[in-house]
Amino acid sequence: MTATQIIIKTILNIVATYFVYKDSKKNNIRHANFWIIGTFLFLPTAIIYFIYKSTAGKKTKLSKRQLVELEVKKRRKAELEKIALERSKLDNVENVEKEQNQEILAELEELRAKRKAEKEAKMKELREERLEQQKEHARKMKVSLNTAKEKMHIDD
């Protein structure tokens, strides 16, 4: 290759690179830097660039309706996340309340058992006191214990 051919090839690369640069910035082509460098280094890349540009290279522009639908979806998703967060907080509160209720029920059962035991002790004490009264009454009356029970109309 002669110097003239190299200079012409370089000028063609620079001109093609300039057109690719201007076109990619004007049309918002994805990966514009790749296409510019590729065109400068390998001239047929410019042809591939123009094919790419006409098919899939442009960023997709959404219509107003699509933008509105996208915004609605985003808001719906945010609302669902908010609801899920509130549900989890509510579940946590319910779990804490259940634990507290179980503790209170356990304390209540313990108190009931204690009261029942106290009542049983008091009833036993009253029975013993009544038996003593019956014996005392029988001794005063000088009758047997069974007769005293019959007179007092008390059954065990």
| DSSP code at position 156 | -
pTM to 2 decimal places: 0.39
Q: For the chain, list residues with pLDDT below 70.
A: 56-60, 142-156
- Per the CB < 8 A criterion, the answer to whether 35 and 29 are in contact is yes
What is the predicted pLDDT for the residue at 40? 85
Average pLDDT for the chain: 85
Q: Where are the alpha helices (DSSP H) in 2-63?
A: 3-26, 32-41, 45-55
Q: What is the pLDDT of residues 70-88, one digit of tens each?
A: 999 999 999 999 999 999 9
Query: Per residue in 19-42, pLDDT tens?
Result: 889 988 888 887 888 888 888 888
Q: In sequence order, what DSSP letters do the residues of 55-115 get, joined into one string?
A: HT-BPPPPPHHHHHHHHHHHHHHHHHHHHHHHHHHHHHHHHHHHHHHHHHHHHHHHHHHHH
Q: Tell me the CA end-to-end span of the chain in Å, nearest whole number.
A: 132
The SS3 of residue 29 is: strand
- The token pair that represents 149 in the structure block: 């029970």
